[in-house]
Chain A
Amino acid sequence: MSVLTPVRGSGRIYAVNPVAKLAASLLLSLFLLVTVDWVSALVALVLESVLFVWAGLGARAFFRRTAAIWIAAPLAGVTTVLYGLPSGVAYFEFGLIHVTEGSVQLALASALRILAIGLPAVVLFATIDPTDLADGLAQVVKLPSRFVLGALAALRLVGLFLDDWRQLELARRARGIGDTGRLRRFLNQAFALLVLSLRRGSKLATAMEARGFGGSTVRTWARPSRFGAGDWMLVLIGLAIGAVALGTSIATGSVNFVLG
């Protein structure tokens, strides 16, 4: 229900520092965004699959969480096949639809790329506990604690906003203005939610301030955020997968730079 319900699990992936997950995912994506070709995406995907087994999520949990990616990737592929930039041998044409050699290749590359970037991102992000991430960002990356903890506390309020929104909706029906003017009602309701959330936010800020938050004292951390060898390893693996994928693609001559 709450956005901040602690994320806990027994898989190995849960033990990794969230900052390492963030970094690994970012590095991997950077390499794969440089080029659009099927070789690099396929190489990355094969290497990643070893990682997915290591993560210890279990097949069911893995496919449940990544279901959206598995649907999005082929859809993007099909769209590209039909409407992608025509080039090479034309296989089929109908109105705006051009199925050509180039568009099929591009489609394959896009679909694989979405999988290669999306799957690790979901696996890494879905297993991040927001509190642990905040600890990591403040203690490892050394972002200002005021900013990080403020954002964390604000995130907790999002769950309450969802409840508020439902109540506001029911109340508008009860007050006799639920029949017409959908757009106006939506704006009115959005404004009411804004007012409610500002008030809630300022109350929470007062409560946090009363507990010494935002003072000049140097803060200590009840939960240590450690960045150990395993975490470095994950970052390196992310880097390596991206580099090998791009390297293979260049070596086989199939590289297709986006900016070039």
Chain B
Amino acid sequence: MTRVTRVARGEGSGPLGAVPDARAEPSGPAGVAPAAAARGTTPAAAAGAELRAEGPAAGAELRAEGWGWRHAGRAEWAVRGLDLTIAPGERVLLLGASGAGKSTLVHAFAGVLGGSDEGEQEGSLTVGGRLPADSRGLTGLVLQDPDSQVALARIGDDIAFGCENLGVPRDEIWRRVDEAMEAVGLDLPLDRPTSALSGGQKQRVALAGVLAMRPEVVLLDEPTANLDPAGVAEVRDAVAAVVRSSNSTFVVIEHRVDVWLDVVDRVIVLDPGGGVLADGDPATVLRERGAELARGGVWVPGFDPLQGRPARQAAAAPAPAAATDARPTLLATADLAVGRTPAAVAARGLDLDVARASALALTGPNGAGKSTLALTIAGLLEPLGGTLRARPALTGDPVPAAAEAVPPAADSDVPVAEGPRARADERRHRREVRRARRRGGTHGRALGEHPFAWPSRELLTRIGTVFQDPEHQFVTGTVRGELEVALRALRLDAAEIDARVTEVAGRLRLDGLLTANPYTLSGGEKRRLSVASVLVARPAVLVLDEPTFGQDSRTWAELVRLLGEQLDRGTAVVAVTHDRAFIEALADRELEVRPAEGSGA
């Protein structure tokens, strides 16, 4: 069920080669979400034409004059001194470094910034000559998080929601719902539960809900940041089809320029210091400001975030094949089956080993069980079948005499037992693991070879886990607190704690934020903190779930460099990822995880 491939890590990959293309892999098994392909939901380019024929929503002009906004309780203005006019029907890509106020501006045009208790406004902002609050229904907004913008349980109902609020008559609503679904290429029954949709499909449902309102302005706030490459392509194509056939004004925020370059006819770059940094047709802006934008974290085609320097020292991996085998194995699985609950096996038949100073990329389609596998390797979920064993190189346990006689790699070569015997073996293995876990603390005894049975504290220095959503990891109220959690659990002395926090905070540019609340950080800062809070404990194995998801190019390069350094120091890295550039920069091997048959994924 799995395929392991060695990744030829291009040492001198050119600048173009290293730019992750979100539209990469338009075909092939990983490129198209299987669900979407099977249902034939590829957006039809011509479909949107009917939308115009039926309801010609003319575009509205967007205008900001000396506009500024300061969120309540903040000293800094999010946006200030902005003068901007977007003509009716223009398609605009809005760029800017993180913190430049792009999202604030788009929310303001959508009329959802709130009143005077939410913040302070200066200057003026109009949509089609009216105040945004008075132009409800004229603007439509699609947000970043697919899960947080579904209002109702069934697709049709959710798309109809906006029309209902605008008082559209019932027959007209369902006509519009049909049109909007066609326009975004959704060929699904109206009563399909929204919870059963992929991220890309959810975003297209959100877009359809906006289109059904026949808005004069469509605003997209990083609509693809939370999606895998297949989802990104899906949403982009849907938007492109709609844009071609409508007269509405479009504004999209996105830091991956290449995704939207063919769709937009104007690029506006906001200046973090206030005002507009650059404005014009895409080719000119990128030619004149490309380097500057790239430095600010925008993914500009042709600019390599790593600037041509390899992330890992070439010397560390002269010949990957030979070198991997020389490194001691830390963890190994044989015929491993993983799942969140014993009733739901996500993937099975997984054979892999994690060696010192090596990087393994876990890839595969959505729902294949990659994250579940990562959490199982990390000792957080119980293996549902087969074995996951930590080697003495990781546990620090004395090597038993019997084990020494057997070469460590032997497990995976042993023909796997079939049928009842294998199942009995699995049951015995799971009983053994459970018993070990119930025993709790080690109290001087050997740790044992089952990570799931280890006490929580023993994981810290052995297997560190960086979760997909950094917020799930936060346990204290300050950045410093987050960095100290693991060190306190390890009962290090105050001086050592201080030294390590200072080192990691400096390395990941968190030193200015030590007293800040983790939840108030930007997306990139949260990601850096979640990695830093794991690295302080210096784990031998680092497990990361989609570490580069939605990151700007600057944070991306920092993460890749940092992980490269860790690998050079001997840390093993296991990463769930869809990011080709990340794999090319770091991984030694790639394991493609396929969903278990009958898992319904």
Contacts and interface: CB of A to CB of B under 8 A. Distances in A.
Nearest to B460: A176
Nearest to A168: B472
Contacts of A130: 153
Interface residues of B, number: 71
Contacts of A192: 471-472, 474-475
A48 to B, nearest CB: 30
Interface string B74-112: 000000000000000000000000000000000100111
A195 B140 CA distance: 28
Contacts of B152: 131, 152-153, 156
A52 B24 CA distance: 57
A195 B519 contact: yes
Contact of A174 (B210, B464, B469): B464
B37 interface: no
Nearest to A189: B475
Contact of B195 (A1, A213, A220): A1
Given A206-B143, A210-B140, A6 B191 contact: yes
Interface string A95-124: 000000000000000000000000000000
Interface string A161-182: 0001011101111111111000
A208 B151 CA distance: 7
A49 interface: no
B112 A206 contact: yes
Given A5-B193, A153-B151, A222-B173, A170 B162 contact: no
Most buried by A among B209, B472, B490: B472
A174 B459 contact: yes
Nearest to B141: A210
Interface residues of A, number: 54
Interface string A207-231: 1111111110111111110000000
A218 B168 CA distance: 10
A178 B451 CA distance: 14
B394 to A, nearest CB: 16
B475 A188 contact: yes
A4 interface: yes
B261 interface: no
A210 B112 CA distance: 6
Nearest to B375: A170
A2 interface: yes
B435 interface: no
Contacts of B472: 164, 167-168, 171, 192, 196
Nearest to B456: A178
A166 B140 contact: no
A2 B165 contact: no
B455 interface: yes
Contacts of B471: 192, 195-196, 199
Interface string A1-33: 110111010000000000000000000000000
Nearest to B167: A217
A223 B164 CA distance: 10
Interface of A: 1-2, 4-6, 8, 130-131, 149, 152-153, 156, 159-160, 164, 166-168, 170-179, 188, 192, 195-196, 199-200, 203-204, 206-215, 217-224
Interface of B: 107, 110-112, 136-137, 139-141, 143, 145, 147-154, 156-157, 160-170, 173-174, 177, 191, 193, 195, 206, 209-210, 213, 340, 375, 378, 380-381, 440-441, 455-457, 459-460, 464-465, 467, 469, 471-475, 485-486, 489-490, 519, 533-534, 537
29 contacts: A6-B153, A167-B469, A170-B381, A173-B380, A174-B380, A174-B467, A175-B456, A175-B534, A176-B456, A176-B486, A177-B456, A179-B440, A179-B441, A192-B471, A199-B471, A200-B148, A206-B143, A208-B151, A210-B139, A211-B151, A211-B161, A212-B136, A213-B161, A215-B136, A217-B136, A218-B167, A219-B164, A219-B167, A222-B174
